[in-house]
């Protein structure tokens, strides 16, 4: 367990919340997500929650706590660790695990690179390398259901994703084998070696996520809020230096006030310029945003428009 002490970024539940009658849109989305999690608990033997410490995975942990309360969260969490982490996020991850008594499994991309099972890409980006360690971890722990924080609003390739998404033993997603999803009756049947990716946040939008985080006072790693950081411009994004390297010749390092909209592989996750230091300010910023969070921050999604679809077929998240 990490010895780093973490300053949880909490927000007070805003006044509007206590006045909100039941059954607004966030209540409906929350009830749906909890229903999905309980179906998984009822129908699968060894589910796991993918957990990076980022906001979507924090939301999954929060919803799992609610779904099974007063019992503890009945699933372990799995972090596919690229080795290109923000220190704040890893410290946060460990603090959350300890606070809620979760079991943490780690699949380390670095281990695979060190022993030669994977080789570093020319561009240094490790997001595409996550697939193999993830699938190996699923096989090793015999996970039959894997919760992810994916949402259908993230991009076009996801619009047809199911809430229960069947994957082959190779993690592949085959469009023709996906089942129609009717009412709220989910079909989780799978063959030995296959697993089901489950997306309880399918029907949430980025704005819903932030509104819910604000309403519930969910803690997030500090890098989601504005801070000063040394950054350099590449591919139209502000990148920062870290274990993955730094500015190349001709790339000027400047100090900016920035925040992150997603947390991921530090080599290709860009910061956005922002003064939003509180949840309310972040919320206001998301409302006015002109870019999707992927468009704003992930260099590797720009490789091609169909990038996500290709990776899904390969067994990526």
Q: Of the candidates 6, 29, 73, 102, which one interacts with another protein according to CB under 8 A?
A: 29
Q: Of the candidates 30, 81, 94, 300, which one interacts with another protein according to CB under 8 A?
A: 30
Contact segment (CB under 8 A) with another protein among 52-60, 188-196, 219-227, 267-275 equals 188-196
Query: Which is closer to another protein, CB of 230 or CB of 309?
Result: 309
Burial class (CB in 10 A: 0-12, 13-18, 19+), 64: buried
The radius of gyration computed from the CA coordinates of the chain, to the nearest angstrom, equals 19
Does 115 interact with another protein (rule: CB under 8 A)? no
Interface with another protein in residues 232-261 (CB under 8 A): none
Query: Which is closer to another protein, CB of 39 or CB of 265?
Result: 39
Contact segment (CB under 8 A) with another protein among 52-60, 88-96, 151-159, 239-247 equals 151-159
Other beta carbons less than 10 A from residue 198's beta carbon:
25
The answer to whether residues 202 and 163 touch, using CB atoms and an 8 Å cutoff, is yes
The answer to whether residues 260 and 93 touch, using CB atoms and an 8 Å cutoff, is no
Helices assigned H by DSSP within 14-144? 15-19, 25-43, 55-68, 87-99, 109-114, 131-140
Does 87 interact with another protein (rule: CB under 8 A)? no
Prior bond of 70 cis (ω within 30°) = yes
C-alpha dihedral sign at 149, 150, 151, 154: positive
Query: Which is closer to another protein, CB of 55 or CB of 298?
Result: 298
Compute the least distance from the CB of residue 219 to another protein, in Å.
16
The answer to whether residues 33 and 63 touch, using CB atoms and an 8 Å cutoff, is yes
Interface with another protein in residues 42-81 (CB under 8 A): 42, 65-72
Reduced 3-state DSSP string for 166-195:
EECCCCCCCHHHCCCCECCECCCCCCCCCE
Does 12 interact with another protein (rule: CB under 8 A)? no
Does 305 interact with another protein (rule: CB under 8 A)? yes
Does 21 interact with another protein (rule: CB under 8 A)? yes
Does 22 interact with another protein (rule: CB under 8 A)? yes
Query: Which is closer to another protein, CB of 39 or CB of 219?
Result: 39
């Amino acid at each position: 367990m990490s010895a780093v002490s973490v300053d949880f970024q909490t927000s007070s539940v805003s006044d509007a919340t206590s006045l909100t009658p039941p059954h607004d849109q966030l209540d409906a989305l929350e009830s749906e997500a909890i229903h999905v999690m309980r179906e998984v608990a009822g129908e699968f033997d060894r589910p796991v929650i993918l957990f990076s410490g980022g906001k979507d995975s924090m939301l999954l942990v929060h919803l799992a706590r609610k779904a099974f309360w007063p019992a503890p969260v009945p699933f372990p969490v799995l972090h596919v660790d690229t080795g290109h982490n923000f220190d704040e996020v890893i410290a946060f991850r460990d603090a959350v695990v300890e606070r809620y008594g979760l079991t943490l499994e780690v699949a380390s991309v670095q281990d695979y690179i060190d022993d030669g099972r994977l080789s570093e890409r020319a561009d240094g980006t490790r997001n595409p390398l996550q697939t193999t360690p993830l699938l190996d971890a699923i096989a090793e722990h015999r996970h039959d259901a894997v919760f992810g924080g994916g949402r259908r609003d993230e991009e076009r390739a996801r619009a047809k994703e199911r809430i229960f998404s069947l994957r082959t033993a190779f993690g592949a997603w085959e469009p023709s084998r996906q089942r129609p999803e009717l009412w709220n009756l989910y079909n989780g049947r799978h063959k030995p070696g296959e697993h089901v990716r489950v997306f309880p946040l399918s029907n949430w939008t980025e704005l819903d996520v932030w509104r819910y985080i604000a309403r519930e006072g969910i803690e997030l790693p500090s890098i989601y809020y504005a801070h000063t950081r040394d950054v350099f411009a590449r591919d139209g994004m502000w990148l920062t230096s870290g274990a993955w390297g730094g500015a190349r010749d001709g790339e000027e390092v400047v100090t900016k006030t920035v925040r992150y909209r997603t947390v991921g592989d530090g080599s290709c996750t860009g910061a956005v310029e922002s003064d939003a230091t509180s949840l309310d300010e972040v919320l206001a910023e998301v409302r006015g945003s002109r870019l999707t969070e992927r468009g704003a921050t992930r260099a590797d999604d720009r490789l091609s428009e169909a990038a996500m679809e290709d990776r899904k077929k390969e067994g990526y998240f």
